[in-house]
Amino acid sequence: MHLGPCLLSREEIAETVAALAREISDDYRDRVSEESPLLLVGILKGAVVFMSDLMRELSIPVSLDFMAVSSYGASTESTGVVRILHDLDTPIEHRHVIIVEDIVDTGLTLQYLREHFKSRGPASLRVVALLDKPERRSANVAVEYVGRAIPDDFVVGYGLDWDQKYRDLPCVRIVCDDEGEGSV
């Protein structure tokens, strides 16, 4: 296995994040305030880099919280079983909440998170994902803000990892097999 070509460059990522931030800011401008900011919930660990850039691009008041869940382990395939490793510290009842995901693949984790959050009574609940693999979707789950749809290749960089490696890459790269093909 080795790293293949860049799927999204640093510049393409920055443009995508800025466009998402403009859309979210426009949608929430009249619904949030300094007293009741938009709550961004980053799904650890992959969404940290994306969320950091996104929050700096937003032109509305925001606050942050994080949640750690697992459905992968050290594999490149989801197990389908979602475990909460760290829950929210912030109550979300009557708050406008956006779940921040690095990538939506099968949608199983996101489906679980949406149900989990809805039971807590938020004023609104939406999802922003930098990357989306619609071909892989096995759960019918809404993603209101999508940065880029990508092919069904395993990707790393910009927070996305392969067994806890490559999160620090400034671009998103495809992981290839030994023959140079994607989709590890």
At CB < 8 A and 24+ separation, what contacts does 149-154 make?
150/7, 150/8, 151/182, 152/183, 153/7, 153/182, 153/183, 153/184, 154/76, 154/182, 154/183, 154/184
Which whole-number Å values give the CA distances from 11 to 52, 102, 108, 126, in the listed order?
Answer: 16, 17, 30, 26
Which residue in 27, 53, 102, 105 is the catalytic one? Answer: 105
Angle formed by the axes of helices 48-57 and 10-28, nearest 10°: 60
Question: Nearest 5°: phi and psi at 56?
Answer: -70, -20
The yes-or-no answer on residue 163 being catalytic is: no
- Per DSSP, 184 falls in state -
Q: What residues have CB less than 8 Å from 10, skipping those under 6 apart?
A: 170, 171
Q: What residues have CB less than 8 Å from 119, skipping those under 6 apart?
A: none
* Positions marked active-site: 105
